[in-house]
Amino acid sequence: SVKLAPNLAFPRANYALALYQIGQKQEAIRTMRNLIRKYPQFPDVRAALTAALWEEGKLGEAESNWVAVVGLDKRYQDLDWVSNVRRWPPLMVKALEKFLKLN
């Protein structure tokens, strides 16, 4: 879907989440950063980047992205919503859970 509609944000966000799930974490982070540059008010990608950066040990950058997420959409604090409504892949949900629990 990214190739068919490269300018739509959600297909690219889903692509980044899929990259993360299959272990291509650096490419996923790069894709997320590019999306945020283009769509700075996109909470889904900021939340995903928060989780990915936390896993990478980039705590300050993760926390600064999270401030923007909470200001834009508080639903990302709810792992059930992220997993069952937004339908993030399991590794991304787990990474966000680690951030939310400060692990």
Answer for the pair 83, 14: CB distance below 8 angstroms, yes or no.
no
pLDDT at 78 over 70: yes
As a residue count, the chain comes to 103
What mean pLDDT is predicted for residues 8-23? Answer: 94
What does the pLDDT read at residue 1?
A: 43
What does the pLDDT read at residue 5?
A: 52
pLDDT at 73 over 60: yes
How far is it, in rounded angstroms, from Cα 89 to Cα 71?
23
pTM for this model (two decimals): 0.91
Answer for the pair 92, 21: CB distance below 8 angstroms, yes or no.
yes
Q: Delineate the domains of the chain, giving CATH numbers in brackets.
A: 9-100 (1.25.40.10)
pLDDT at 33 over 50: yes
What mean pLDDT is predicted for residues 47-51? Answer: 98
pLDDT greater at residue 52 or residue 3: 52
Whole-Å CA distances, 61 to 10, 15, 29, 56, 99: 23, 22, 12, 10, 12
